[in-house]
Structure 1
Amino acid sequence: MSTTMPPPEQAPAREERVLPRPAEGVWPGLQDPGANRIRMVVARSLLRAAVRRMPMRLVWPDGSVDGGDPAGPAMRLIRPEACFTRLGTDGLIGLGEGWMVGDWDSDDLVGVMRCFTDHIESLVPRPVRKLRRLYDRGQPREERAADAAVSQENVHRHYDLSNDLFQLFLDESMMYSAAWFDGPVGPDGRHLESLTAAQHRKVDGVLDLAGVRDGSRVIEIGTGWGEAAIRAAQRGARVTTLTLSVEQAELARARAVAAGVSDRITIDIRDYRDAQGEYDAAISIEMIEAVGERYWPEYFRAIDRLLAPGGRFGLQAITMPHHRLQATKASYTWIHKYIFPGGIIPSVEAIEQTLVRHTSLRIDDRRTIGLDYAETLHRWREDFLGRSEQVRALGFDETFVRMWDFYLAYCEAGFASRYLDDWQFGIARS
């Protein structure tokens, strides 16, 4: 729980909107879908029409079915009116909230979300899409990563949930980003390689792109739980790694001690904008998504400023198609509201354009591991659900468990459909 958040009666103006605080069991307004019959009827009509174009089924409480694919994943309606009211009022935020409270269910949540993701461009008729502004209020001003204080609060709301929670479903590397798999696959199409081996390959790939070797001075933007810094130090590098998460920093320090490399690693609770020094290499693994579009130039200028002549930058970033970034960058999504406040996923084009316009840096090497992220998320979700009783024992309620189930399934579907991708970039001065 945040030690800086005042009680509601003393909250500053920007906190007047009651925030969801899942770690504290705070779900403002979630149980009441409201009453708006017109929007409910419109949403019901749109979804029934959509499922007839998709390989899925909509199953009503009386057993009747919309959709023509008997083998497709089924979205089972438990409380149809509440489900469609949420959907008509808040779009995909309402869809996720309906899952969280049990308005609908499915035995194949990834499959249902994959259908929505695969057909995202045609899910809603174009004339109706123009009405998006009626329910899409845009990201709240207080969640945009304008300064270190706002960024730290956004980080706190996700990464400081509980180290024990993350340890329940992450592998021993404690990497919370896409792994990079190799080798044989089983008859089910799943990789046989361990997640830890794939995570180590991922980290080593970023370190190689940054040219990290014995004697390198390395700065890392976004510590996580310290695995990348540890592996860099094991190469003989000296690492300064920056994080805004107090809980992550504590565990990362303990892991560095256990690995015997704490003398080569400095872990600072510091915003990247305040970093100082000169380094031979910089690395950042899936941290740019939390920066905010407005601050991408500042992020890359900071790297440019910190790199010594001849230095290199290894970046791993989740990406989305550029046209979808342009269409949705001002939107407020379910992921923003419940998982990653203030976040925005860049496109490859946006990264390239920002580098060209604001730095002397250019991409000179790249690889995609997006489909490997679907596999990574599949394993995380299996472990999370398999240990859901332990999650509850940590103090998280049933709504939280369903929320994280939806989050992991939603993301797996996004990467499996290639709507989302994940890239490793080698970046150097032009």
Structure 2
Amino acid sequence: MTDLMPAAHQPVAEQWPTLAPPRSNPIRRVGALVAIRMIAKDLPATIHLEGKSYGLGGPAMRVHRGAAFLDRLGQDAGSGFGEAYLAGDWDPEPGTDLADLLVPFAERFSNEETRHLLPKWAQSLRWLVTRSQPGEQENDRAGARENISRHYDLSNGMFAEFLDPTLTYSAAYFGGGDPTADLATASYDELSPAQLAKLDAILDAAGVQSGSRVLDIGCGWASLAIRAAQRGAWVTAITIAAQQALLAQRRIADAGVSDRVQVALRDYRDQIGEFDAVLSVEMIEAVGEKYWPVYFDAIERRLAPGGVAVVQAIVMPHERMLATRNTFTWVQKYIFPGGLIPSVKVIEEVTAEHTGLRPEVLLHLGADYARTLRIWRNRFIEHWPAIEALGFDPTFRRMWEFYLAYSEAGFRTGYLDDVQMRFTRR
């Protein structure tokens, strides 16, 4: 679905100070243009910039403000391209889907032979335009609350406009085949059944049944907790997002399972007790590398003898995780402060070194996530008038369209994956 903003879009300066045009630097601007020419030589996409076209053809983008676009790229390699989109410096050509345009760039990272967009000599200079993650995004208890609140407490109403009725904010499971085969047919009507299938896969993997004691770490809006309670389980659901917790409690009451689910505004490090199943869905990405050992140790300490943990995690190739773990990316700056996507290998290493847990990958949901994200983005665009009425401006719309499309491209190309992992004690 393509529903572009006007080419002349300009962020409100007071609301978006980070999008102010950077100070012009001729050397950095030339460097950015040289980088574009290098990237475009074998890129199956087209970049229309200042009267010239770069690339091999295919999905096309048009740069409206060439000087500002190059200045942003030259100033910050990690965020400049995305910031230029937020600022309205470029758009996909009419008729080109934003995710389709971003796929060729993501493919360069997912392909072993073309993983780096620039040649090695140019990569050695990336430190000049690469930022490190700021200290204020530290994921200690206070920092984690702030980081999580900045995303999950944006607006319960906003999330409700594009998520399915279960309010499940993680990859759905469409069950077989290739979910990316025809994304143009992706329908909102298929989302709720696929989300319930994902929840059931997690509960089945953990052996959750009537009487099971379940801990849900990072419970979201309680879809997994409700589903577990409907099996007859006793559930403790914890989150550190205050507005999310309030709505989760209301949804649990509406589902008629308040007697079986307790929602607590609590950090995972502060949970006590023993549970037959510990579940955590796409929460590890917000933990931060420094705290991964603490996170898995907390899971192990909460498991009763014979207990099982299931973690659903977004992951990336180990080499890319190592290469990017100390950089400050667009996603960290605008969407998930303090976050870092792990690899399966680092999860295996951390659990082996710091815990007695044995991990096992059960399910790969990367392609399913691409379809989930396409449905979310279509719904977000369709329901934009209602979201705008909640107080969000056109720059916020561009930010979320880019985030959802950027993520979809990552999963479509295999640069990102989403895995369900089961953990038992060694």
Q: Same fold (TM over 0.5)?
A: yes
Q: Deviations over 1:234-254 (max 9, x none)?
A: 010000011001111111111
**Residues 337-348 of structure 1 correspond to what in structure 2 (within 5 A)?**
337-348=333-344
- Number of matched residues? 405
The alpha carbon displacement at 1:223 in A equals: 1.1
Q: Deviations over 1:193-239 (max 9, x none)?
A: 71000001111111111111100001111010000000000010000
The alpha carbon displacement at 1:123 in A equals: 1.0
Check the 8 A contact 1:218/1:282 in 2, yes or no: yes
Whether 1:245 and 2:241 are equivalent positions in the alignment is: yes
**Residues 184-263 of structure 1 correspond to what in structure 2 (within 5 A)?**
188=182, 190=185, 194-263=190-259
The alpha carbon displacement at 1:111 in A equals: 1.9
**102, 106, 110: which is aligned to 2:88?**
102
Structure 2 counterpart of 1:103, which letter?
Answer: D
Whether 1:282 and 2:278 are equivalent positions in the alignment is: yes
Residue in 2 that maps onto 1:136: 130
Structure 2 counterpart of 1:97, which letter?
Answer: E
Normalised by the length of structure 1, the TM-score is 0.91
Check the 8 A contact 1:365/1:427 in 2, yes or no: no
The alpha carbon displacement at 1:364 in A equals: 3.7
Residues 240 and 331 from structure 1, CA distance in 2 versus in 1: closer, same or farther, beyond 3 angstroms? same
Q: How many angstroms apart in 2 are the aligned matches of 1:409 and 1:380? A: 10
Q: How many angstroms apart in 2 are the aligned matches of 1:260 and 1:191? A: 32
Whether 1:73 and 2:66 are equivalent positions in the alignment is: no
**Residues 13-32 of structure 1 correspond to what in structure 2 (within 5 A)?**
26-32=15-21
**Residues 110-149 of structure 1 correspond to what in structure 2 (within 5 A)?**
110-120=99-109, 121-145=115-139, 147-149=140-142
Structure 1 counterpart of 2:137, which letter?
Answer: E
**Residues 381-400 of structure 1 correspond to what in structure 2 (within 5 A)?**
381-400=377-396
Residues 278 and 188 from structure 1, CA distance in 2 versus in 1: closer, same or farther, beyond 3 angstroms? closer
Extract unaligned runs of 5+ from structure 1: 1-21
Q: Deviations over 1:155-174 (max 9, x none)?
A: 11100000000011000110
Whether 1:268 and 2:261 are equivalent positions in the alignment is: no
Q: How many angstroms apart in 2 are the aligned matches of 1:135 and 1:367? A: 37
The alpha carbon displacement at 1:108 in A equals: 2.5
Whether 1:44 and 2:33 are equivalent positions in the alignment is: yes
Q: How many angstroms apart in 1 are the aligned matches of 2:69 and 2:226? A: 47
Q: How many angstroms apart in 2 are the aligned matches of 1:34 and 1:119? A: 30
Q: How many angstroms apart in 1 are the aligned matches of 2:100 and 2:341? A: 23
The alpha carbon displacement at 1:132 in A equals: 2.2
Q: How many angstroms apart in 2 are the aligned matches of 1:343 and 1:198? A: 26
Residue in 1 that maps onto 2:8: none
Query: SS of the residue aligned with 1:119?
Result: helix
Q: Percentage identity across aligned positions?
A: 49
Residue in 1 that maps onto 2:365: 369
Residue in 2 that maps onto 1:19: none
Residue in 1 that maps onto 2:144: 151
Q: How many angstroms apart in 1 are the aligned matches of 2:258 and 2:210? A: 16
Q: How many angstroms apart in 2 are the aligned matches of 1:222 and 1:188? A: 32
Q: How many angstroms apart in 1 are the aligned matches of 2:345 and 2:102? A: 26
Residue in 1 that maps onto 2:310: 314
Check the 8 A contact 2:362/2:420 in 1, yes or no: yes
RMSD: 1.9
Structure 2 counterpart of 1:207, which letter?
Answer: L
Decide which moves more: 345-354 or 118-127: 118-127
Check the 8 A contact 1:183/1:191 in 2, yes or no: no
Residue in 2 that maps onto 1:14: none
Q: How many angstroms apart in 2 are the aligned matches of 1:399 and 1:186? A: 28
Check the 8 A contact 1:74/1:108 in 2, yes or no: no
The alpha carbon displacement at 1:60 in A equals: 3.1
The alpha carbon displacement at 1:31 in A equals: 2.2
The alpha carbon displacement at 1:393 in A equals: 1.2
Whether 1:292 and 2:288 are equivalent positions in the alignment is: yes
Structure 2 counterpart of 1:143, which letter?
Answer: Q
The alpha carbon displacement at 1:46 in A equals: 1.3
Residues 25 and 272 from structure 1, CA distance in 2 versus in 1: closer, same or farther, beyond 3 angstroms? farther
Check the 8 A contact 2:314/2:419 in 1, yes or no: yes
Structure 2 counterpart of 1:119, which letter?
Answer: R
Q: How many angstroms apart in 1 are the aligned matches of 2:225 and 2:258? A: 10
Residues 183 and 301 from structure 1, CA distance in 2 versus in 1: closer, same or farther, beyond 3 angstroms? closer
Structure 2 counterpart of 1:373, which letter?
Answer: Y
